[in-house]
Structure 1
Amino acid sequence: MRILRRTFESLQWAARAHAKWDLEVSTNIVTSRKKLLLLALLTIPIILVSVGVAADMELPDILGGKKAYTPAFYTTEIFLVSIAIGVCAGLITGCIGAGGGFIITPALMSAGIKGILAVGTDLFHIFAKAIMGTAVHKKLGNVSVALAVAFLVGSGAGVLGGGILNRLIYEANPVASDTFISVIYVVLLGFLGFYALIDFLRLRKMGQGVDAHGGGGSGGGGLPAKLQNANIPPMITFDEDLVPGGKKISGWFVALCGSIVGFMAAIMGVGGGFLTFPMFVYILGVSSFTTVGTDILQIIFTAGFASISQYAIYGFIFYTLAMGMLLGSLIGIQIGALTTKLVPGIYIRGFYALAILAGFVNRLFALPGKLGDMKLINIDASTAGILASLGNWSFFVVIGTFAVWVIGTFLMRARELREE
């Protein structure tokens, strides 16, 4: 139980670090006239595409034509949905400082987008935002270059493995691909959601008016010490600013952790940052201070490499949807970050737990129908459809309620923010 709790806390730390970076990158974009002009220029073709769709014109495959390699094609409604999903993800990230990216792939799949296309599009959206908001931020923290290089070498190998596996499953059976991605999300969101709910109930019982962004801790213990004592060249020195002479660890262990992160990022489309923290802190023994910068650095390169090498060149990215999510998230994250000044953190934590659990229920209720289509279980088509609809409705009602509450609070109390 203690190990699970420490893992959950480290996952929260990772999500907060990524959320902080996401907010800084988004702010950098919306406060720059040049970047806003670039965003407008990128959006104009999408508006023209929408006009073309309305006029029943055939679109190029890469923009979502009906003969595209992946069978989901562009509609104006789907583009508007992608903006709404981006807004909701941005609100969660800005309000809670964690977890917004976890809802994007399930939300896109619920909107009718193939799982592999949702993963590729989400990765590209992360990469596009990073590039527009400056690829390497000035405030990355105490980045260990040697750790980052070893980690990225492993991450690149993991991305190749995860991307190839995702494509092989899709080419063998598109339904199996959606099922595989859904199972991964059921396990992850189930773990995060139930622990977030337990954490919320514990804090509420204690009557603590906690900050929405919470706290954190650091790791250590037996495993990091054993790995650092294993003299397997090449050895990497890190944390020199915190420990006299620094700590040392084999680059092979760092690369192995990177390969796991890259593998999961390529499969799930969330950048892999949520795994970097527990691995760096509790397995490799790296300080939280060094981990923050290295984690953000790897997200940029991992998302870029995965989206381009494993999805873009194979036609598994919907650029119009990626732009919609980018537009929406830029709006949502700014509103969410401002709203945290007006709402007690304990309520935001409660909504966060419900949002994650809604994503869990959404993917869980979609599984029976997919397993039935694969002939792995016997289930009536109408029953499977009802379950899938319940999962979709519960997901969008919870996320939509959260969005309405946050935006409503922002609009009604905007005067307080201006005065502040």
Structure 2
Amino acid sequence: MGMFRRVVGGGLAAGEFLTALSRKQAQWELEMSRVILGRRWKLLLVALFPVLLGLGMEMAVAAGLPEHIGGHKAYMPSFATTEMFIGSIFVGIMAGLITGVIGAGGGYVLTPALMSIGVKGIMAVGTDQFHLFAKAIMGTVIHRKMGNVNFWIAAWFVLGSVTGASVGGVLNRAIYQKSPALSDAFISAVYVFMLGILGFYALADWMRTRKGAVAGARTSSVDTTTNFARWLQSLPLKPRVKFDEHIVPGGRSIAVYPIIICGFIVGFVAAIMGVGGGFLTFPMMVYGLGVSTFTTVGTDILQIIFTTGYSSITQYAIYGYVFYTVAMGMLLGSLVGVQMGALVTRMVKGVTIRAFYALTILAGFVNRICALPGKLNEVGWINMSKATATLINSVGTVIFFALVGIFSLWILAVFFKGASKIREAERQALTAGSAGVGH
């Protein structure tokens, strides 16, 4: 009984940590969408780069490039149908709505959603990463406000993330070359683990909130240096990097090796799961290394650009594992969806949002765990009839899209119902403010 309690306690602690990480990723998604959609004419100019690159590579693969560039071992269609593009936009909207409303977790449904509609896992990972790279480069070029970037922290961190992304990309491709089914099973297993922890923590968190057990958010400052960070900074290792001179007289310093290790972990996870890695960077920098939040924000944006750019292009795109048309559709959908979702948070209760968060994450968990038997059966690791494996997979797909689809439709209904009221309230407040200034 004691062992069971420790396991449950450890799982809840891990879930709380992963939830905090995904919330940081959601904040970045919302900020990028606001920046990009707020500067429409610049958006069109910047968007030409990834679109032309994608179309060029799709045409090149269709023309028959060598095997190591695309070839028969890749899983990249030479063209996209209208249905594919429209479907990718809806997937992006769905993920954006979840991200905007919940403030966490929306990005985790992209890769499972693509895999559920038939895209191979490695293709879904590469496509997801490329869409994040396009969003990061567009938002940063337009915005130009990247915080107080410490060049040397960024340089050493990117060195580690590029190395980690290389290892993760090589591992993913090696598994795929051995067996596409094993590759899908491996990526699905990673998502089962991550979404399982996140989902069951979210469910427990909702139950505690419903019972009134959660008093409120923690108020501790994220700029408070942890004991672990102080210990790392005290290690007498060289070379070292100085930072935060604007916060602490004389600044702080730390050896480059912990920075490289953190970067390696971020790059490896990003390459394996198809995520941006930003959700890991923030807590590692602030709590692990003791870097201020202001400096961390700039470094995080830089690492997302370099990590997703390097990983998506050198580890996936040149091998034919990025579907650019789908990536652009996901980008367009998520930019709009996250803004609509963020507005809905002003119209619904927090406990309702927590409930839907738990359901959507658990839907992704069920979807991937139901896909595992069929993939393991193809590899020969288990013995199951193909009809049974297909039925289990179909059940998981139906549950996933039913729950996520119902949630998305509910968000849209609330949005269109309440958007006019919000605009009217804002107009009245603006009018009242102008009248006050006039007097």
Residue 304 (structure 2) aligned to one of 299, 309, 328: 299
Q: What does residue 171 of structure 2 align with?
A: 165
Name which of structure 1's ranges 342-351 and 384-393 shifts more when overlaid on structure 2. 342-351
Could you list the per-position Cα deviations for residues 215-272 of structure 1 after superposition, in whole angstroms to 9, with x for gaps in the alignment? 7764755533332221111112233333333332210111011011101111111011
Take 2:221 and 2:414, find their aligned partners in 1: how far apart are those partners?
A: 32
Residue 372 (structure 1) aligned to one of 360, 364, 377: 377
Q: What does residue 403 of structure 1 align with?
A: 408
| SS in structure 2 at match of 1:413 | helix
Name which of structure 1's ranges 239-248 and 176-185 shifts more when overlaid on structure 2. 239-248
| SS in structure 1 at match of 2:211 | helix
Take 1:35 and 1:189, find their aligned partners in 2: how far apart are those partners?
A: 37
Take 1:254 and 1:410, find their aligned partners in 2: how far apart are those partners?
A: 42
1:295: Cα distance to partner? 2.3
Q: What does residue 30 of structure 2 align with?
A: 23
**Counterpart amino acid of residue 27 in structure 2:** K
Take 1:106 and 1:92, find their aligned partners in 2: how far apart are those partners?
A: 14
Whose radius of gyration is greater, 1 or 2? 2
Could you list the per-position Cα deviations for residues 10-44 of structure 1 after superposition, in whole angstroms to 9, with x for gaps in the alignment? 44343333322322322232233324545897999
Pairing 1:198-347 to 2, within 5 Å after superposition? 198-206=204-212, 218=222, 221-347=226-352
Query: For the structure 1 residues 40 and 225, does the alpha-carbon distance in structure 2 shift closer, same or farther, using more than 3 Å as the test?
Result: closer
1:101: Cα distance to partner? 1.1
**Counterpart amino acid of residue 358 in structure 2:** A
**Are 1:18 and 1:296, in contact at CA under 8 Å, matched by a contact in 2?**
no
Q: What does residue 189 of structure 1 align with?
A: 195
- Structure 2: runs of 5+ lacking an equivalent: 1-5, 56-60, 427-439
**Counterpart amino acid of residue 383 in structure 1:** T
**Are 1:17 and 1:292, in contact at CA under 8 Å, matched by a contact in 2?**
no
Query: For the structure 1 residues 4 and 385, does the alpha-carbon distance in structure 2 shift closer, same or farther, using more than 3 Å as the test?
Result: closer
Q: What does residue 14 of structure 1 align with?
A: 21
Query: For the structure 1 residues 135 and 158, does the alpha-carbon distance in structure 2 shift closer, same or farther, using more than 3 Å as the test?
Result: farther
**Are 1:209 and 1:346, in contact at CA under 8 Å, matched by a contact in 2?**
no
TM superposition score normalised by structure 1: 0.87
Could you list the per-position Cα deviations for residues 73-92 of structure 1 after superposition, in whole angstroms to 9, with x for gaps in the alignment? 34332322211110011111
**Are 1:124 and 1:303, in contact at CA under 8 Å, matched by a contact in 2?**
yes
Could you list the per-position Cα deviations for residues 127-163 of structure 1 after superposition, in whole angstroms to 9, with x for gaps in the alignment? 1112222348444334333222111110011111111
Residue 90 (structure 2) aligned to one of 71, 84, 88: 84
**Matched length:** 406
Name which of structure 1's ranges 253-262 and 76-85 shifts more when overlaid on structure 2. 76-85
Q: What does residue 3 of structure 2 align with?
A: none
Take 1:144 and 1:117, find their aligned partners in 2: how far apart are those partners?
A: 34
Residue 353 (structure 2) aligned to one of 339, 348, 351: 348
Q: What does residue 70 of structure 1 align with?
A: 74
**Are 2:76 and 2:323, in contact at CA under 8 Å, matched by a contact in 1?**
no
| SS in structure 2 at match of 1:237 | strand
**Are 1:72 and 1:114, in contact at CA under 8 Å, matched by a contact in 2?**
no
Q: What does residue 39 of structure 2 align with?
A: 32
**Are 2:76 and 2:321, in contact at CA under 8 Å, matched by a contact in 1?**
no
| SS in structure 2 at match of 1:342 | coil
1:370: Cα distance to partner? 0.7
**Are 2:130 and 2:327, in contact at CA under 8 Å, matched by a contact in 1?**
yes
| SS in structure 2 at match of 1:323 | helix
**Are 1:83 and 1:324, in contact at CA under 8 Å, matched by a contact in 2?**
yes
Q: Does 2:174 match 1:147?
A: no
Could you list the per-position Cα deviations for residues 367-401 of structure 1 after superposition, in whole angstroms to 9, with x for gaps in the alignment? 11111111111122222111111111111111101
| SS in structure 2 at match of 1:406 | helix
**Are 1:10 and 1:216, in contact at CA under 8 Å, matched by a contact in 2?**
no
**Are 1:61 and 1:69, in contact at CA under 8 Å, matched by a contact in 2?**
no
Take 1:135 and 1:188, find their aligned partners in 2: how far apart are those partners?
A: 32
Query: For the structure 1 residues 10 and 39, does the alpha-carbon distance in structure 2 shift closer, same or farther, using more than 3 Å as the test?
Result: same
**Are 2:22 and 2:279, in contact at CA under 8 Å, matched by a contact in 1?**
yes
**Are 1:14 and 1:292, in contact at CA under 8 Å, matched by a contact in 2?**
no
